[in-house]
Amino acid sequence: MKLMQAIDIYKTYASDGKRVEVLKGLDLSIKKGEVVNILGASGVGKSTLLHILGALDRPSGGQVIHDGVDIFRLSDRELAAFRNRKIGFVFQFHHLLPEFTALENVMMPCLVAGWSKTKAASAAEEVLGNLGLSGRLLHKPGELSGGEQQRVAVARAIVLEPDLVLADEPTGNLDTKTSEEVHQMLMTLNTERRITMIIVTHNLTMANLRGRNLKLVGGALTDA
């Protein structure tokens, strides 16, 4: 069953008075429970594509259909709710709030969604525990290792049980051993929770472990 479709996506920027086309008629169809790895050289538009799929940016042309809804026809308020409830984001740099604990960082999406503090704390504690961080709940990001910080970021992305996780080079800032651990954690989440994932990565070895590999080249996707 299809979860999301990107149809004839274009993205154009103006740079130094010139028109630069990053995405050129791109199409993508994602099934529920699928893992899709997107490969490609730096600067070809992989992050731009993820931002459009996650409604962080709007395309210059084309549609993104999620569960039958054309998301860019939603109001700004509806689009913000869609991002918070339906999409989980994991970035190369964890973007945790340094003044808050691991527990508080993971509670944030729940509080934005209108949950009570008690309910949010309970959900955050459970997901952090499932990711092996029960003993680090009250630690701030600066007190955590790089791998632990990224686990907290993953917990924050999945605490609301989103339909889709978009991961942009989620292991790109980690050493090899920690990268393997984080990637395996993502694959376990896909297996156990059937969370659909789109992962931008430069690591072909990890990409080959699970899912469908696509390459972004010339503004469009092809089989890798």
**Residue spans per domain, the chain:** 34-58+75-223
> What one-character DSSP code corresponds to residue 170?
T
Q: Is the dihedral of CA 29, 31, 33, 34 positive or negative?
A: negative
Helix then strand count (H, E) for the chain reads: 7, 10
Q: Which residue has the tokens 């993971």?
A: 106
pLDDT band at 18 (very low <50, low <70, confident <90, very high): confident
139-176 pLDDT per residue, tens: 999 999 888 888 898 899 888 888 899 988 877 666 77
Q: Is 96 left (phi over 0), alpha (psi -120 to 50) or beta?
A: beta
Q: 34-58+75-223 — its CATH code? A: 3.40.50.300
Question: Which pLDDT does position 205 carry in this prediction?
Answer: 73
The number of residues in the chain equals 224
103-133 pLDDT per residue, tens: 999 999 999 889 999 999 999 999 898 888 8
Distance CA 196, CA 222 (A): 20
Tokens of 92: 């190369």
169-224 pLDDT per residue, tens: 877 666 777 777 777 778 888 888 888 999 988 777 777 777 899 999 989 999 87
Distance CA 21, CA 27 (A): 15
